[in-house]
Chain A
Amino acid sequence: MLDGTTAEIRERQALRINPAKTCQPIGAMYAALGINGCMPHSHGSQGCCAYHRSHLTRHYKEPVAATTSSFTEGASVFGGLANLQQALENIFTIYKPKIVAVHTTCLSEVIGDDIPMIIERARREGKIKPDQLVMHTNTPSFVGSHVTGFSNQCASTIKYFSESSGETKNVVNLFPGWVEPADMREIKRMAKEMGIEFILFPDTSGVLDTGHTGHYEMYPAGGTTLEQIKAMGDSFQTIAMGPLASKAAAEELEKKCNVPSRLLELPIGLSNTDAFVNAMRLAGQVPVPASIEEERSRLIDMMSDMAQYMHDKKVAIFGDPDQVTALTQFLVEMDMKPVIAVTGTPGKAFEAKIKEICAEKCPEVEARAYSDVHFLHQWIKNNPVDLLIGNGFGKFVAKAEGNIPFVRFGFPIMDRVGHRAFSTIGYTGAMRLIEQITNAFFDYRDRNDPDEKIELVL
């Protein structure tokens, strides 16, 4: 399908070809699903909501409920006040959520709907009852990317609901960033193993990776509860993972409730997980348990077993900044050469960080923010790589380049099931990454080597 891609790269001023990002509202929707009993509400045309739900459903293979203001021609001229008020009334009557999280869209942003005012008026007019919780976040689709929307939803939630009672508790807030439900489970498991008291926010495990119960639950049991979100204001520290996704929320909590925060990279790979474990150790004043140390040693054992296959392998990687940055660090730790790293999300910090990580191992690295998959593909045509890492769309590039080894990582992945079930976070998650990467190499060899060169033992 991408056979027409040429090697000649032209600087494009106005055009996005095959994006490596999407828009803010879907990120807000995903984060809101990590709040227990929450109905995300899209204040815009109904297509936005349908697209986000379908996209999330394709990635998580789970039902995703969300409501929409169903904008019409009239609303686009006169504003969405009536639509949102009617929507809120209907949502609480029929779907009975614990909270409705309203996010905006490009349309309602450009019209200039004042959401807090609309909510306030609906309250005054009795359309929403006093115990019916509504929050809002602004997610203009033409700013940032889907990660920005996730970040905004998290920060707004804190702004609305976290409170400081004046009494600091021996609890650590863990902000996981935009990771998979399986990753959230893994973070919780590790924190339990460390023996610290914690609140994870948001938490989509138990929401987007539920088991089969024979029921359709509009609000599955998982998600951070409103009580927990409120109590986060009394925690004595926040460990925020993934700067782009979690920093705004951590800062908001610091500002509002005086909870100091520590900002970490996503705990992907050895040193990033070390940093996470260390942060938990310091925060909880606990020793690192033997079980966690053993996990670490097993990872190092696997890294050493496979080291010869990793050495100097050229890797192209694309995805969201937090993910790509953390994984690039791990690639370097495994003696691989990340030769190109691309994200669709704007922000020069990404490029600087990638260059810093690769300074020793691969100083020639091409780091591009606000770019796209088409650029990545063209670049690869000029500089062939041994491995491609990225979301599901990467398979078209891998195929066009002779079925080069390809590992799916990031959002969205619409053609595999593993990502939501098996974590790539922490030491054990890093082992899974090694397994996937070496499998990709070995499968490639087994598929392409002539008979006489096929090796049984690798």
Chain B
Amino acid sequence: MSEETKNISILEGRKGQVWRKGEGGAFVCDRQSLAGSVTQRACAFCGSRVVLYPIADALHIVHGPIGCAAYNWDIRGALSSGPQMHRNSFSTDVSEKEIIFGGEKKLRAALDELIPELKPKAAFVYSTCIVGLIGDDVDAICRQTSAKYGIPVIPVDSPGFKGTKRLGYQAACDSISKLIGTGDTSKVGPLSINLLGEFNIAGEAWMIREYFEKIGIEVVATMTGDGRVDDIRRAHGAKLNLVQCSGSMTALAKLMQETHGIPFKRVSFFGMEDTAKAIYEAAGFFCDEVVMERAKNLVRAEIGEVLPQLKAYRRKLAGKKAALYVGGAFKALSLVTALRALGMRTVLAGTQTGNADDYAALRDICDPGTIIVDDSNPLELAKFVMEKDVDLFIGGVKERPIAFKLGVAFCDHNHERKIPLAGFAGMLNFAEEVASSVLSPVWKYVPRRSGLGMEGVR
């Protein structure tokens, strides 16, 4: 460990956000990042954008200077089985003139140029930091444009300064809620669900949908992976909501419960245990013996397929130590369980924006000595990784190079994953992904394992 890493202190104002199992003390989360920290978090705009953009037949237009549109142009692999409109980047590219005179004219013109040409089913207009400041009335423009073209044109109130991604998720849920309840539900059957907080990264929504179709449960709308406007409009016809990425979509589930009386269940499709649990919960909800029987058969068959292959990975990976730093704490929970299935131990678990309940569950499930951390930064993460001598780091784009610099294997379990990690087959993919990095011979050459740099070369 370099002197720099060894001696870092934790910002006084952040001490409550680091907790070690066995040492007690209070744990603090869900607060703004301290100004001046190298936070791994993003902003409300980012949160809204990532939640909504998988709706593939809608137009997504970013109202603001070019950067906000440029940085999230197709960075997430949210796949669509049909239209690919969402993978383009549309922006008003606000420049100096609009800062002075306002951007309404430009936004109006942009919508007029795009809607007749692309004929989207709906349009989302994202407000960035400066839109309110330059006095643009985005709501009014959306209302008027909507009337003009006869499609929903929905404002997304997502200026970055509103807060972390969580507040952006909330804004996205508000926007989606304007679509829900506007479609015809007469063809929605009694055994029907919506999948909330599933973004079809690497095609995961397709796998999950298939499970439900196989046991006779209809998936009305996936929000928002491989999403379609018309499906969302009739989502209120479903009898149950399954919420996967709870941080992003619990708000919408609650709203649908209030306005449409649809109950919801929080589930996870990461790892075999959690996937099985999610399928059983949905099947159990309908109190239908046939469905339950099919669910049991499905789970049995899938696990029967995967388990023997998993054993081979377990032999190779048993005893390895993992650190994880992900978006929300609910996913962290699933990962701890999934890693256990591989014989691995989680020694550091952190999230960008976990909430108190999820952290409580995470603290329960972890082994003694595990460090739990909220809204961390590179120096802290590096310190803990070295202290715990981990073999694997699970995180996102900003954590990857840090792990590699420390000589630690890495698995992207964020939106940049390229293979589906959800469901039963996803567990196998996860094992392969972990093994391909953890078992790489390259780690033999890094200083941490080989002793020293060139001195170790003979």
Residues of A within 8 A of B (CB): 1-4, 10, 12-19, 21-26, 41, 44-55, 57-58, 61-73, 75-76, 83-84, 86-91, 93-95, 105-107, 110-111, 140-143, 145, 210, 212-219, 344, 346, 374, 393
Contact = CB atoms under 8 A, between A and B. Distances in A.
B42 A51 contact: yes
* Those 4 A-B pairs whose CB atoms lie nearest each other, nearest first: A47-B43, A23-B67, A87-B36, A45-B160
Contact of B113 (A13, A54, A69, A89): A13
Contacts of B81: none
B37 interface: yes
Contacts of B378: 63, 65, 216, 218
Given A1-B87, A22-B66, A67 B40 contact: no
B39 interface: yes
B251 interface: no
Given A14-B109, A70-B33, A344-B66, A50 B39 contact: yes
Given A107-B161, A214-B448, A12 B398 contact: no
B41 A50 contact: yes
B397 A17 contact: no
Contacts of A25: 67
Interface stretch (B1-9, B264-272, B299-307): B1-9
Nearest to B453: A213
Given A14-B110, A16-B90, A95-B379, A46 B160 contact: yes
B26 interface: no
B77 to A, nearest CB: 11
B160 A63 contact: no
Contacts of A17: 88-90
Given A17-B89, A107-B129, A216-B382, A72 B66 contact: no
Given A16-B92, A106-B130, A216-B2, A47 B65 contact: no
Interface string B378-421: 11001000000000000001101110111100000000000000
Contacts of A13: 106, 109, 113
Contacts of A10: 113, 117
7 contacts: A14-B106, A15-B90, A45-B43, A45-B159, A46-B43, A48-B67, A141-B65
Contact of A215 (B1, B34, B68, B83): B1
Interface in B243-285: none
Interface string B90-113: 111111101100000111111001
Contact of B2 (A51, A215, A374): A215
Given A16-B90, A393-B73, 15 more contacts: A16-B92, A51-B72, A63-B401, A67-B38, A72-B32, A93-B11, A94-B9, A110-B133, A143-B96, A212-B405, A212-B446, A213-B453, A214-B447, A216-B379, A344-B66
Given A1-B74, A16-B93, A393-B73, A47 B45 contact: yes
A94 B8 contact: yes
A70 B32 contact: yes
A14 B91 CA distance: 9
B134 interface: yes
B447 A213 contact: yes
A50 B67 contact: no
Nearest to A55: B71
A142 B96 contact: yes
Given A72-B163, A344-B66, A111 B133 contact: yes
A217 B5 CA distance: 8
Contacts of A106: 64-65, 67, 94, 99, 128-130
B84 A26 contact: no
Contacts of B66: 16, 19, 21-23, 141, 145, 344
- Which has the most chain A C-beta neighbours within 10 Å: B4, B43, B382? B43
A286 B264 CA distance: 77
A68 B58 CA distance: 33
Given A25-B67, A68-B35, A86-B36, A107 B133 contact: yes
B361 interface: no
B88 A2 contact: yes
B192 to A, nearest CB: 31
Interface string B102-138: 0001111110011001100000000011101110000
B11 A141 contact: no
A4 B9 CA distance: 53
Contacts of B129: 44-45, 71, 76, 105-107, 110
A220 to B, nearest CB: 10
A142 B33 contact: no
B402 A16 contact: no
A62 B400 CA distance: 8
Given A26-B67, A62-B401, A216-B406, A86 B35 contact: yes
Contacts of B159: 45, 76
A111 B133 CA distance: 8
Contacts of A218: 4, 378-379
Contacts of A213: 2, 405, 447, 453
A44 B105 CA distance: 26
A1 B416 CA distance: 18
Contact of B39 (A58, A68, A143, A374): A68
Nearest to B399: A63
B95 to A, nearest CB: 5
B405 A21 contact: no
Contacts of A44: 129, 160-161
Nearest to A24: B67
B89 A18 contact: yes
A412 to B, nearest CB: 9
A270 B74 CA distance: 36
B118 to A, nearest CB: 8
